[in-house]
Structure 1
Amino acid sequence: MTQEELDALMNSDDADSDNLELEIQNESDLQSDEALKAESQQLEDAKVSGYRPNPDVAWPPPPPSQEHKVVHQLDDVTRDSEQKATEMMEKLENINNFFADSEGLLGEIDKVLDKNIEIFSRLNEKFPNVESFKEALELNRDVKKTGGEIISHLQDGQDEVMMAMDSMQYQDIHRQKIERVINVMRALSHYMNSLFEGKIDDSKRVGSAVHIEGDSTAEVVSNDDIEALIANLGKK
């Protein structure tokens, strides 16, 4: 093996070692970030679980839980409204079909009544002294009149159903208005996030100072902090 081949082999081993160390470091950083996110989420969940709404207190605002996220709630409203509106339109259409079918059946009955009236009219003319023919003729005429009133009511019901369907169209208009508001809110949210975006991750930022010169707070260190410091010194 020449010196050049030996040098190339050594350089290859060094590169593999560097890559392995880099992968280990990246994996360690990833696990650390995940641990920080999990801890932050646990703290956030604890804050949310301990929150109790109070209408007399304006601050702090409610936490961003599923019950208080505005866009989530609006999305639920639009989804549920559209679902219920679709169900209502289907119900109204079924009612309209029932009215139409009933009107058709009454039309068939009306044909039978016309035939009965024709027969009993002839019998009454031929046998005017037979009261049963006259009574049957009057009865069929009354039933035919009642059937006409029923058909009129069914037609009125169909008209009312059509007007109800027209009114339900406003539900879709309201849904579109809410969706437009959602889109504006989402665009504003993206803009604000971009506006306040930083180069440094929040988990890597230095904590804020408790007291800065000029603050109205006179107590720089709390009693709890002092006691904790003394306890730590005593352990050492």
Structure 2
Amino acid sequence: MTQEELDALMAGELDDMPTNTTDDALLMDADDETMEESLIDSDALDIEKDKATSQLMHEYRPSSTMSWPPPPPTDDHKMVHQLDDVTKDSELKATEVFDKLETINTFMMSAEDDTKMVAKQVASNIALFETLVAKFPKIEQFQKALDDNQMMKNHVENILMNTQMTQDEVMMIMDVMQYQDIHRQKIERVINVMRALSKYMNALFEGKKDDDKRVGSAVHIHGDTSTEDVVSSEDIEALIASLGKK
């Protein structure tokens, strides 16, 4: 090969290089577009699956005559979620009840103090009218006022006694409400046990392979009792034989 032929060959290869580079770039762009379309299709499929699952979960209606299928894992059926709501709501309501009882007890203590002041004044009136009746026995108004104040004293004593009994009842209610906190602690202990069991079961059934990399399960397997609508091997052979006769 002469020098001129070698130079011509090298010049031809250099001329072909941009063309090859352009072709490679086009192929890479096509591959990228294909991968992007595949990713988009996969994402769209996942979104559709999530929508379908969410729709089925929200369309579920419990029935007292059916024990299967179990309710879907929505917020209304998650056991720990529901128990957490129970403990939270019960604690809030118990706090409100304690506050109301404390307010009632404060009012009753104030009423007791006022009643004692009234009783003191009534006792002073009785002492005064007893003196007046002793000095002026013929004046009926003094005797009537004395009788009225003595009757008032009895009513005031009853009010004072009822006020004190009400305070005692409020304290007893507060003692009873302490059991509500004990029940809340028991529920929280149950929640902790359930969470521990859930973590244990998840760890027990954990696999080395991701779920999205696993092979899909067969819908119908030979020997299933719920495959009446599936075509059997005998039916397939009969169909092939009938097609062969035609």
TM-score, normalization: structure 1? 0.74
Runs of at least 5 residues in structure 1 that lack an aligned partner in the other structure: 1-23, 223-236
Superposition pairs for residues 140-155 of structure 1, below 5 Å? 140-155=149-164
**Pair 1:193 & 2:202 matched:** yes
Alpha-carbon distance in 2 for matches of 1:182, 1:32: 41
Indicate conservation of the 8 Å contact 1:116/1:140, yes or no.
Answer: yes
Alpha-carbon distance in 2 for matches of 1:153, 1:32: 78
Superposition pairs for residues 72-111 of structure 1, below 5 Å? 72-111=81-120
Match for 1:65 among 50, 74, 80?
74
What do you get for the CA RMSD once the two structures are aligned? 2.6
Q: What is the Cα deviation at residue 164 of structure 1?
A: 0.8
Superposition pairs for residues 31-70 of structure 1, below 5 Å? 38-70=47-79
Q: What is the Cα deviation at residue 131 of structure 1?
A: 0.8
Q: Which shows bigger deviation, 50-59 or 82-91?
A: 50-59
Instruction: Find the structure with the greater CA-based Rg.
Output: 2
Q: Aligned residue for 1:19?
A: none
Runs of at least 5 residues in structure 2 that lack an aligned partner in the other structure: 1-31, 233-246
Q: Aligned residue for 1:172?
A: 181
SS of 2:50 mapped into structure 1 = helix
Q: Which shows bigger deviation, 40-49 or 94-103?
A: 40-49
Alpha-carbon distance in 2 for matches of 1:100, 1:157: 10
Distance 1:215 1:120, change over 3 A: closer
Counterpart code for 1:154: T
Q: Aligned residue for 1:205?
A: 214
Match for 1:158 among 162, 167, 170?
167
Q: What is the Cα deviation at residue 199 of structure 1?
A: 2.0
Counterpart code for 2:182: I
Counterpart code for 1:101: S
Q: What is the Cα deviation at residue 99 of structure 1?
A: 1.2
Alpha-carbon distance in 1 for matches of 2:96, 2:105: 14
User: How far does the alpha carbon of each residue in 1:140-181 deviate from its partner, in whole angstroms, 9 at most, with x for none?
Assistant: 111011100111111111111111111111100110010000
Q: What is the Cα deviation at residue 43 of structure 1?
A: 3.0
User: How far does the alpha carbon of each residue in 1:170-215 deviate from its partner, in whole angstroms, 9 at most, with x for none?
Assistant: 1001100100000000000011111111222212222113344555
Distance 1:133 1:220, change over 3 A: closer
Q: What is the Cα deviation at residue 47 of structure 1?
A: 1.6
SS of 1:194 mapped into structure 2 = helix
Q: Aligned residue for 1:116?
A: 125
Counterpart code for 1:123: L
Indicate conservation of the 8 Å contact 1:210/1:220, yes or no.
Answer: no
Alpha-carbon distance in 1 for matches of 2:182, 2:40: 48
SS of 1:115 mapped into structure 2 = helix
Indicate conservation of the 8 Å contact 1:82/1:172, yes or no.
Answer: yes
Q: Which shows bigger deviation, 31-40 or 71-80?
A: 31-40
Q: Name the % identity.
A: 55
